[in-house]
């Protein structure tokens, strides 16, 4: 049974199989070793995510997952971009207070750890926000003239996400900080001030692979389940399949 | 449990999650309804595929798959490009005689039908071959000056694949014929005379979606397992999660 990596998150996860998406790149990277499984839910914040986490993932048996299930090597947990919507602006229905966001993240991590004690849980912070672009697209109909998200608020949620990872003793990709290391980040990495361009997707892919590698989940360590072409004897190809 | 669609094939399947790939596009299309699972094996012909089919797919119980497994809605079976390597040319070790190719396809289909009697099995023929491009890349070291594959041979295997689908009473995408309807097919659809460009990937994606739709597997018919943002009451979002 091929092991799995789940991608759990909001729209930035749900659309990660669009052209150049970081989810598709992960499948491509792990093509012969791991099933990368999409569990992205557009618009969701951690409050909603917590409501559905037991339905998103297979029921836990007492003491862990059923023995007949494929092992789950890792889960990426990528929420916060919606929680960070400001409570008095255009997308207020998605807002979650900062303290509750941290508590919700803790609860999601606990739920996953209870299900799969050995699984690598990787948090990803929300990306930075290009406020000007948010007013142009997609919220051109926003009557207030004020963006529904700010980069400052996204930064506070990113900081809380990094703190939560520290408190849980798990790795984190600080995407908010990482992206802003490139001065061209608003145009280079964001296509509408929030969602990712192909280059922005590439950053997420590379940072996730780096953290997976640091956690021991590298192509060198993972088992290929069937013979690779390079391991097949061209003079006697069927030999490779004799003792599977 | 979210249902699955498996993609079983050779390198054109294995690399279908690279930029613009047809596999990634299928995940994106079915993002909230189906898990699209990659089972691509570079270099494999039907002879090798038949050797591994029982390891690629979960073991069949008597009378079908185990009740605890997610339903498998469809399997794409996309082999023939390697079988069609000529027996006296540079990649002869991959060649499979035409009669055996048909028999192997029949055996693969039977194996899947036995496992999952109600599952839609979709055959895909090999694509056409741009022979000039095959000599330039990747086989520049080929000393014979003759391409290892010809378009004529690929066409014979495509015809056999279409015949097999008819004999089995299952659908088929005749990619060899479909691509050549565009006079620019060699450059438009093939990046090395065999593997697909983004536009070539788009053709496969669209043809596969069409056949899945004709078999009842359309977004209109498939169940979304958790509330979509459009179905959430902005005034009382949590209501949507009360009765899951």
A contacts of B20 (beta carbons < 8 Å): 19-20
Stretch A24-49: mean pLDDT: 98
Give the full edge-to-edge strand order of the sheet including B35-40.
B35-40, B4-9, B72-78, B120-124, B172-173
Percent of chain A, pLDDT > 70? 93
If phi > 0 it is left, if psi is from -120 to 50 it is alpha, else beta; for residue A71 that is beta
Residues 24-83 of A with CB under 8 A from B: 24-25, 27-28, 31-32, 35, 37-38, 40-44, 47-48, 51-52, 55-56, 58, 66, 68
> Which pLDDT score is estimated for A134?
86
Closest CA to A18 of A201, A179, A206: A201
Strand partners, B40: B9
DSSP state of A59: P
CB contact under 8 A, B17 and A37: no
Instruction: Select from A14, A31, A228 the Cβ nearest to the Cβ of B17.
Output: A31
CB contact under 8 A, A37 and B35: yes
Are residues B156 and B84 in contact, defined by beta-carbon separation less than 8 angstroms? yes
Q: Which residues contact A88 (CB under 8 A, 6 or more apart)?
A: none
Q: Which residues contact A119 (CB under 8 A, 6 or more apart)?
A: A72, A73, A74, A75, A112, A113
CB contact under 8 A, A14 and B23: no
CB contact under 8 A, A51 and B229: no
| Residue B231 CB-density burial (10 A; 0-12 exposed, 13-18 middle, 19+ buried) | exposed
The token pair that represents A207 in the structure block: 């940072």
**Using CA atoms, how far apart are residues A67 and A71, in angstroms rounded to an integer?**
9
DSSP state of A190: B
Closest CA to B122 of B242, B212, B23, B4: B212
What is the distance in angstroms between the Cα of A120 and the nearest Cα belonging to chain B? 21
> Mind listing the pLDDT tens digit for each residue in B43-95?
999 999 999 999 999 765 544 455 568 899 999 999 999 999 988 887 888 99
**What's the length of chain B?**
244
Q: Which residue has the tokens 């540079």?
A: B90
Per 3-state DSSP, chain A is made up of helix, strand and coil in percentages (nearest 5) of: 45, 10, 45
pLDDT in tens, chain B (244 residues): 899 999 999 999 999 999 999 999 999 999 999 999 999 999 999 999 999 999 999 765 544 455 568 899 999 999 999 999 988 887 888 999 999 999 999 999 999 999 999 999 999 999 999 998 888 766 666 677 788 889 999 999 999 999 999 999 999 999 999 999 999 999 999 999 999 999 999 999 999 999 999 999 999 999 998 999 999 999 999 999 998 8
DSSP string, B133-168: HHHHTT-TT-TTSS-SS-HHHHHHHHHHHHHHHHHH
Q: Which helix H or strand E contains A173, and what residues bound it?
A: strand A172-173
User: CB neighbours (10 Å) of residue A124?
Assistant: 29
Are residues A76 and A68 in contact, defined by beta-carbon separation less than 8 angstroms? no
**Using CA atoms, how far apart are residues A128 and A137, in angstroms rounded to an integer?**
16
Closest CA to B71 of B4, B136, B26: B4
Higher per-residue pLDDT: B234 or A23? A23
Closest CA to A75 of A21, A103, A35: A35
| Residue B168 CB-density burial (10 A; 0-12 exposed, 13-18 middle, 19+ buried) | middle
Residues 136-155 of B with CB under 8 A from A: none
CB contact under 8 A, B27 and A15: no
What is the distance in angstroms between the Cα of A50 and the nearest Cα belonging to chain B? 10
Which residues of B form the catalytic set? 11, 192, 195
B contacts of A66 (beta carbons < 8 Å): 68
Strand partners, B36: B5
Which residues of A form the catalytic set? 11, 192, 195
DSSP string, B64-130: BS-TTSPPEEEEEEE--TTTTS-TTSTTGGG---HHHHHHHHHHHHHHHHHH-TT-EEEEEPPPP--
The token pair that represents A144 in the structure block: 């207030």
Closest CA to A99 of A148, A144, A44, A163: A163
Structural domains of chain A in order of their starting residue, each with its CATH number: 4-241 (3.40.50.1110)
Comparing alpha-carbon positions, the chain B residue that sits nearest to A53 is B226
Q: Which residues contact B101 (CB under 8 A, 6 or more apart)?
A: B45, B46, B80, B83, B157, B160, B161
Model confidence at A63, pLDDT cuts 50, 70, 90, reads very low
Instruction: Indicate the SS3 state at residue A229.
Output: helix
Instruction: Indicate the SS3 state at residue B244.
Output: coil
Q: How far is CA A52 from the centre of its chain?
A: 16
B contact test, residue of A38, A39, A69, A95 with most B CBs within 10 A: A38
Instruction: Indicate the SS3 state at residue A233.
Output: coil
What is the distance in angstroms between the Cα of A183 and the nearest Cα belonging to chain B? 26
Are residues A53 and A105 in contact, defined by beta-carbon separation less than 8 angstroms? no
The complex scores an ipTM of 0.95
What is the distance in angstroms between the Cα of A171 and the nearest Cα belonging to chain B? 26
B contacts of A52 (beta carbons < 8 Å): 226, 241, 244
User: CB neighbours (10 Å) of residue B173?
Assistant: 23
The token pair that represents B34 in the structure block: 């189906």
**Using CA atoms, how far apart are residues A148 and A84, in angstroms rounded to an integer?**
9
> Mind listing the pLDDT tens digit for each residue in B200-212?
999 999 999 999 9
């Amino acid at each position: 049974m091929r092991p799995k990596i789940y991608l759990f998150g909001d729209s930035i996860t749900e659309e990660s199989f669009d052209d150049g998406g970081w989810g598709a790149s992960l499948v491509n990277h792990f093509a012969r070793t791991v099933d990368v499984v999409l569990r992205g839910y557009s618009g969701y914040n951690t409050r909603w995510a917590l409501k559905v986490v037991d339905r998103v993932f297979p029921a836990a048996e007492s003491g862990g997952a059923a023995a007949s299930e494929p092992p789950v090597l890792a889960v990426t947990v990528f929420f916060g971009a919606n929680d960070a919507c400001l409570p008095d602006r255009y997308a207020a229905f998605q807002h979650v207070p900062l303290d509750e966001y941290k508590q919700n993240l803790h609860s999601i991590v606990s739920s996953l750890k209870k299900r799969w004690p050995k699984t690598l849980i990787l948090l990803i912070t929300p990306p930075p926000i290009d406020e000007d672009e948010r007013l142009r697209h997609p919220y051109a109909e926003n009557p207030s003239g004020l963006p529904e998200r700010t980069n400052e608020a996204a930064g506070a949620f990113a900081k809380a996400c990094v703190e939560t990872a520290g408190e849980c003793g798990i790795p984190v990709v600080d995407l908010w900080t990482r992206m802003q290391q490139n001065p061209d980040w608003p145009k280079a990495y964001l296509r509408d001030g929030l969602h990712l361009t192909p280059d922005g997707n590439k950053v997420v892919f590379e940072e996730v692979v780096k953290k997976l590698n640091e956690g021991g989940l590298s192509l060198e360590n993972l088992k290929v389940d069937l013979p690779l072409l390079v391991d097949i004897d061209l003079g006697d190809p069927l030999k490779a399949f004799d003792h599977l």
